[in-house]
Homo-oligomer: A and B are copies of this chain.
Amino acid sequence: VCVCVLHFSECADLMTAGSRRCIVVSTLAEACFYADHGFDDIIYAYSLPFDKIERCAALSEKLDLFQVLLDHHDALQQLKRRPLKDGQLWHVWLKLDCGNGRAGVLHSEPEALSLARAIAGTEGVELTGIYAHCGNTYSCTGVEQIQAVAQDTTSCVLQFMEKLKAVGITCKSSIGSTPSCSHPVQDMSKLSEVHPGNYIFYDVQQSMIGSCSLEDVAVRVLTRVIGHCPQKDQLLIDCGWSAISLDGAGKLPTGYAIIEGHPDLKLSSMTQEHGRLEPISGHLDYSKYPLGTLLSLIPHHSCATAMMHPVYHVHSKGRLLGTWNPTRGW
């Protein structure tokens, strides 16, 4: 389970059904946070930053299973230079680039196989698995396109596993991204595991990609009308980029967010603490929006919005069930 956008242990408890195992994080701060809250079997799914080797070593020595990810020979050298105590092994995933083009060693390059063999052959290090992040699903629209990328990534990984097998290496395999794991293809069952991303929150972006419907989105930012600007046919709200983020660059038909129940309104611009709402067509009826009116915004990207808040209020059927406090930093 990928908890990298969530940053709080109550939610990770839900996602792991209380087992507190098998989680994926993207910052070491999260790894430490979860380790301190009794979680174990954590993958730090981020190309090993060299300045964090010592902290990774400490987690590896403390936890039952702490796993790192790398995509370069130099990173392997760093691990060799810091052997773990009592003969413990560094658990290493090799990051493969199967077309996403961000991090990872290209699956088609001979380099990929040679790095996998080097990891497997290094004393004090174990090749735990092969991982590919198919973030290229983010440019998809619709299930068909998502599944084409998911199939392509899965096939690349499975072919790579065959190459490994041919040189006598066996290990786990995994792919991940919110869209691909929302619409898995059959072949994904041949992988050891998947990393399903942000399925617990979703957002407008995921609904537009086709990962979910808008009804599946579980995050809102509440805001109030704090000003009337009839000269500009605008409402001023107390939600700026410090509350919802600049993610999406305001390119939704409704600007930086969807205003729930008001498809005619657009969040057209923001400063730090202020947002401006405009009618998409026609003119505003100010009598419908007295100062103090509460509005509910559905964020373009819930990870970016969640980053901006020190606390989340959890509710169900109109009842407040509790608050979640995210962790921050790296």
Contact = CB atoms under 8 A, between A and B. Distances in A.
Interface of A: 4-5, 26-27, 46-51, 71-72, 74-75, 101-103, 106, 135, 224, 226-229, 231-232, 236, 238, 241-243, 245-247, 249, 271-274, 276, 290-292, 303-304, 307-311, 328-330
B292 A50 contact: yes
A246 B4 CA distance: 19
Given A46-B226, A74-B290, A238-B330, 4 more contacts: A51-B292, A103-B227, A103-B236, A249-B249
Nearest to A290: B74
A271 B329 contact: no
Chain A facing B: main interface SS: loop
A190 to B, nearest CB: 28
Contacts of A227: 47, 71-72, 103
A26 B273 contact: yes
Contacts of A241: 247, 304
A330 to B, nearest CB: 7
A224 B50 contact: yes
Contacts of A276: 102
A310 B291 contact: no
B242 A307 contact: yes
A274 B309 CA distance: 21
Contacts of A292: 49-51, 74
B26 A236 contact: no
Given A245-B246, A246-B246, A272-B303, A232 B101 contact: yes
A274 B330 CA distance: 12
Contacts of A242: 307
Nearest to A48: B226
